[in-house]
Amino acid sequence: MEELATRSIVDQSAFKLSMRQLAGAVSVITVGEGDERTGFTATSVSSLSAEAPSIIVSLNRGSSSWPVVERYRRFCVNVLTANQRHVAQSFAGFDGRQGAERYEDAQWYRLSTGTAALKDALTVLDCELETVLNHHSHAILIGRVCAIETREDVEPLLYWRGGYRRLSGEAVTCP
Ligand SMILES: Cc1cc2nc3c(=O)[nH]c(=O)nc-3n(C[C@H](O)[C@H](O)[C@H](O)COP(=O)(O)O)c2cc1C
């Protein structure tokens, strides 16, 4: 087979349109302590390995959370429930709040590691930052999970085609 001499150029807007088709769970990543607390909303959370329980999150290095992640070298993933959309909005910076102000409209508890965890989240994963892979504008954070809390009785908040969604319909089963 003939090898391509150059990489094909993909239009950025076509890429963004394609990525809008990915339905994802919405999480809030909390970082820092006290007045240095901040955080960001993320759909890029993914499981990496179970044997050494680890996850991946990608973070824009232009974000206010990046220097705090670098300093504290830990973060907490709070996977949101369907009725925690306002928390997603605050941590995405959509209501203009910065840093610790983003924590004002929800209830939090302090993990033994010092990071804040969201009360009533679908699941909470407290992580130590093990590896950072820089790639263009973003850093891929690999976190070793050191504590977990999970609720089974609530539905996730989803994001798809630029909007928040709820799960609906029956589970699709294999024949
Ligand atoms: C649904 C949703 C998903 C997002 N996912 C990510 C993500 O995975 N990684 C990221 O760096 N930013 C993501 N963002 C953007 C950040 O939440 C936002 O840029 C950040 O909180 C604001 O940056 P600031 O702290 O510098 O104000 C997402 C935003 C939304 C609304």
pLDDT of residue 3: 56
Ligand 1 atom at minimum distance from 26 CA: 1
pLDDT of residue 142: 98
Ligand 1 atom at minimum distance from 63 CA: 26
pLDDT of residue 5: 55
Least confident range of 32-46, 70-84, 161-175: 161-175
Asked whether residue 105 is assigned to any structural domain, the reply reads: yes
Residue 1 or residue 153, greater confidence = 153
Question: What are the start-end ranges of the H helices in the chain?
Answer: 12-19, 65-72, 85-91
28 within 8 A of 165, measured Cβ to Cβ: no
Question: How many distinct structural domains can be found in the chain?
Answer: 1
Burial class (CB within 10 angstroms; exposed 0-12, middle 13-18, buried 19+) of 74 = buried
Q: How much distance in Å is there from the Cα of 100 to the middle of ligand 1?
A: 16
Asked whether residue 11 is assigned to any structural domain, the reply reads: no
Residue 118 or residue 6, greater confidence = 118
- Which residues are near ligand 1 (CB < 6 Å)? 26, 40-44, 58-60, 63-65, 91-93, 159
Q: What is the pTM of this model?
A: 0.94
Q: Looking at the predicted structure, is the pLDDT value of residue 1 above 60?
A: no
Distances (CA, A) of 10 to 14, 17, 174: 7, 12, 35
Asked whether residue 16 is assigned to any structural domain, the reply reads: no
Asked whether residue 90 is assigned to any structural domain, the reply reads: yes
CATH number at 133 reads 2.30.110.10
C-alpha span between 11 and 158 (Å, rounded):
26
- Predicted confidence band at 6 (pLDDT cuts at 50, 70, 90)? low
Pocket test for ligand 1, best of 60, 80, 101 (most atoms within 8 A of CB): 60
Q: Looking at the predicted structure, is the pLDDT value of residue 19 above 70?
A: yes
C-alpha span between 29 and 143 (Å, rounded):
12
Q: Looking at the predicted structure, is the pLDDT value of residue 27 above 90?
A: yes
- 144: its two tokens: 């070793």
pLDDT of residue 23: 97
| Locus of tokens 């300093």 | 71
Asked whether residue 48 is assigned to any structural domain, the reply reads: yes
Ligand 1 atom at minimum distance from 45 CA: 8
Query: Can you point out the beta strands (E) in 8-101?
Result: 24-25, 27-31, 38-42, 46-49, 54-60, 74-79
User: Measured in Å, how far apart are the chain's first and last C-alpha atoms?
Assistant: 38
Distances (CA, A) of 44 to 7, 23, 25, 26, 141: 25, 11, 9, 8, 10
User: Which domain does 77 fall in, by range?
Assistant: 24-162
- Predicted confidence band at 77 (pLDDT cuts at 50, 70, 90)? very high
Distance of CA 120 to the CA centre of its chain: 16
pLDDT of residue 13: 95
pLDDT of residue 171: 77
